[in-house]
Amino acid sequence: MLIDLEQQPADALLALIKLHNADPRADKIDLGVGVYRTGQGETPVFGAIKAAEKKLVETQDSKAYLGPEGDMGFVEALMPYVFGKDSPTMGGRIEGMQTPGGTGSLRLALAMVKRAGYKRLIVGKPSWPNHNQICADLGLEVLEFNHAKADGTTDMDALRAALANADASDAVLLHGCCHNPTGIDYSKAEWDEIAGLLAERKVLPVIDLAYQGLGRGMEEDAYGVRRVMVAVPEALVCYSCDKNFGLYRDRVGALYAMVADPADLTKVMSNAHALARANWSQPPDHGGAAVRLILEDEALTAQWLDELDQMRERMRQVRAKLAEAGKTGGVDLTAIGIQNGLFSIIPFTPEQVQAMRSEHGIYFAGSGRINVAGLTMGNIDKFIAAVAAVTG
């Protein structure tokens, strides 16, 4: 029976990694993999994480199971950063649990959406490919709307139209900040309007907050989540520490559920625990414990936030440099300067994507999504020149 399974296509990003690795050119550029890189092209371990891990090794006295909810100290320590220290929603209406990365959180959230009887998930396009893959695996219907317009701004008309036709049987997936793959985020005014529309249409928001701190700042990047949470009775928030703590391979995430009546939290979370038990049983502990230790220690917290500030500032410098190039060949890079996070999309044709690889040794997704952190002050001029040559 196993031989009757259909061959699945190779993951495009993994295939891109192999192509880049096989390229012998010394000046090749990798803009595909979604990890932060320094100005020297490295993806280092945070100093704060190293210090927390050292402390963990010295003090941890057991590797016994924690349960499907994971490290609740970690889960609770994150909450003030996500929801705000003075948020009214913190008053017994929110509970969370640890998950294996942001992907685990999304898988769990969407499984809960399906189990709760929601009929559709409304998703902006383009979106992170795994969003739709998870929905397909769960058998959850997806309704797409255009997230952004060609000028690099959000398409609020498309979102308004999607929500106008939605009701209490629908859920909507929104990127909290640093939209993947476009980098195009909603403004504060747009989040204010979105919160009102969600409350009016009684649609369940599922907010994917995978890059907090990599856009404009920890507080600024949480504006949308917090604005929505005070407007609606129920919501799910999917959180990842993989990017803002540099814990990619350790898979550190959390899922938070908010309900109108605190008395309902036990029932809701019992379903989350049961679904987690059937999927991964219990999340890996090491990375979550390291984050907890950082957030419990003022000095380590300050060190982590400083390292995060440096990451964000470097990416903003890269974006500013690209924006300065303006009209380059047949594309305009100006809007990249006001976008956020690791990613932006440049409207390359498939032939131009291939030319960037074969003629210039520059690798990125076929969609035109680039990881701006793959650019440095040492290679960015080459990238801009290649864009001009290929699209001109």
99 backbone dihedrals φ, ψ, rounded to 5°:
-135, 160
Question: Among residues 208, 221, 242, 285, which one is catalytic?
Answer: 208
Question: Among residues 30, 71, 114, 128, which one is catalytic?
Answer: 128
First vs last C-alpha separation in the chain: 53
What does the radius of gyration of the chain's CA atoms come to, in whole angstroms?
Answer: 21
Annotated catalytic, 119? Answer: no
Specify which residues 236 forms β-bridges with.
Answer: 206, 257
Contact between 254 and 79 (Cβ < 8 Å): no
Question: Among residues 243, 250, 285, 304, which one is catalytic?
Answer: 243
Total length of the chain: 392
Contact between 256 and 102 (Cβ < 8 Å): no
369 backbone dihedrals φ, ψ, rounded to 5°:
-70, 125
| Strand-by-strand arrangement of the 141-146 sheet | 94-100, 252-258, 235-240, 204-209, 170-175, 120-125, 141-146
Alpha carbons 327 and 360: distance in angstroms, whole number = 20
Annotated catalytic, 208? Answer: yes
Alpha carbons 237 and 106: distance in angstroms, whole number = 9
Strand segments (E) across the chain: 29-30, 94-100, 120-125, 141-146, 170-175, 204-209, 235-240, 252-258, 327-328, 331-332, 343-345, 362-363, 369-371
Residue whose C-alpha is closest to residue 243's, from 126, 343, 365: 343
**Residue-wise DSSP of 234-252:** -EEEEEE-TTTT--GGG-E
Contact between 375 and 21 (Cβ < 8 Å): no
Annotated catalytic, 128? Answer: yes
Both tokens of 363, joined, read 């690798």
Residues tagged active-site: 128, 208, 243
